[in-house]
């Protein structure tokens, strides 16, 4: 695998996971089983899917769209992101989604932070309550654009992209973990090495922003991965959904994504497994896909599903990957 292949694999993994989790997001495991049965590939939104109602099989959601938005801002700014411009682009994106009749809009932390920012609250204060997974779900492009040779400097960059919406110890730590795992994978790390880099970045991120109560990302990663690895395969879905958790809380969904990625035998099967868990499935599956793609490259993603993904969505991930890697150099 080349560095370019790992970078593209990360962006593809993000989009694959997002599209797999699209029809099941915010649903219970029981309703997912009743409406879809066993998931082995892309599915159209079913009758009980309210957020993504009517979306076709292979359609992406806010996870990929906001990541692409961040990628373009990084490219435009030669690796830097202007907080005000970022906020404006996010609000424009939501307006466009609403005009299309979509309910897949900004998450709770991002929405409230941008409202405060628009009301004149300084950027450093606007995101002081953002503890959910919005910063982590969109951070993958930064993992392509920045090296983790210096963890503090890498987390500086994560903090700069998170401060407007998720300026908390949990929000920054979770984004730092996902971004660092992707960056390490792009640099050639295997999964175990990428997880260790991610934990170090999460521990650094936990010292940033406004302190927020909740289980810290680094220690929860050190617990959850061995816990899931030691759980019989037949009980792993229960372990992730009921013990680790799959809600929008970063200390659940981000940790779940890492545990699934770190214990995966086959990356595609792992994403299908994640899409069946209920809760914030599109985000959990997208983050797991980004980590697996960065550490395994593009070959683990099926060509048949790639054709559906590219036909259904207006995506040029190869060009984005190339331009983001140019920033890294």
Are 155 and 172 in contact, with CB atoms under 8 Å apart? yes
DSSP 232-265: -GGGHHHIIIIII--SSBHHHHHHHHHHHHHH-S
- Cα-Cα-Cα-Cα torsion 168, 169, 171, 176, nearest 10 degrees, comes to 130
- Is 2 annotated as ligand-binding? no
The Cα 145–Cα 179 span in angstroms is 10
- Is 280 annotated as ligand-binding? yes
The Cα 248–Cα 134 span in angstroms is 8
- Is 282 annotated as ligand-binding? yes
3-state secondary structure of 249: strand
**Lookup: tokens for 168:** 């908390």
- Is 62 annotated as ligand-binding? yes
- Is 156 annotated as ligand-binding? no
Return phi, psi of residue 322, to 5°: -65, -45
Class of residue 295 by CB neighbours under 10 A (exposed 0-12, middle 13-18, buried 19+): buried
Are 40 and 92 in contact, with CB atoms under 8 Å apart? no
Class of residue 78 by CB neighbours under 10 A (exposed 0-12, middle 13-18, buried 19+): exposed
- Is 63 annotated as ligand-binding? yes
The CA angle 159-123-257, to the nearest 5 degrees, is 40
The Cα 114–Cα 173 span in angstroms is 20
DSSP 64-106: HHHHHHHHHHHHHTTT---HHHHHHHHHHHHHHHHHTT-----
The Cα 254–Cα 252 span in angstroms is 6
The Cα 207–Cα 178 span in angstroms is 16
Q: Which residues are annotated as a binding site for Mg(2+)?
A: 61-63, 280, 282-283
Q: Which residues are annotated as a binding site?
A: 61-63, 280, 282-283
């Amino acid at each position: 695998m080349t560095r370019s292949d790992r970078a593209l694999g990360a962006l593809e993994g993000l989009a694959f996971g997002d599209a797999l989790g699209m029809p099941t997001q915010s649903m219970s495991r029981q309703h997912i089983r009743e409406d879809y049965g066993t998931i082995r590939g892309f599915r159209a939104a079913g009758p009980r899917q309210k957020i993504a109602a009517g979306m076709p099989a292979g359609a992406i959601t806010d996870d990929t769209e906001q990541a692409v938005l961040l990628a373009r801002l990084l490219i435009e700014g030669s690796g830097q992101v202007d907080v005000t411009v970022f906020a404006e682009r996010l609000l424009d994106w939501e307006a466009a989604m609403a005009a299309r009749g979509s309910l897949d809009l900004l998450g709770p932390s991002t929405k409230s932070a941008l409202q405060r920012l628009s009301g004149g609250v300084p950027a450093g204060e606007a995101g002081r309550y953002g503890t959910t997974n919005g910063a982590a779900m969109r951070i993958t492009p930064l993992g392509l654009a920045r090296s983790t040779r210096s963890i503090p400097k890498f987390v500086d960059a994560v903090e700069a992209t998170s401060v407007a919406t998720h300026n908390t110890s949990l929000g920054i730590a979770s984004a730092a973990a996902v971004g660092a795992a992707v960056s390490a994978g792009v640099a050639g790390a295997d999964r175990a090495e990428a997880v260790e880099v991610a934990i170090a970045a999460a521990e650094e991120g936990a010292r940033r922003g406004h302190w927020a109560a909740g289980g810290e990302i680094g220690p929860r990663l050190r617990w959850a991965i061995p816990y899931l690895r030691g759980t019989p395969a037949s009980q792993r879905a229960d372990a992730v959904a009921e013990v680790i958790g799959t809600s929008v809380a970063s200390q659940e969904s981000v940790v779940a994504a890492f545990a699934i990625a770190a214990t995966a035998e086959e990356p595609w099967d792992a994403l299908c497994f994640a899409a069946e868990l209920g809760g914030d499935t599109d985000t959990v599956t997208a983050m797991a896909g980004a980590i697996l793609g960065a550490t395994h490259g593009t070959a683990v993603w099926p060509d048949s599903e790639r054709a559906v993904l590219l036909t259904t969505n207006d995506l040029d991930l190869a060009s984005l990957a190339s331009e983001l890697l140019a920033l890294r150099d």
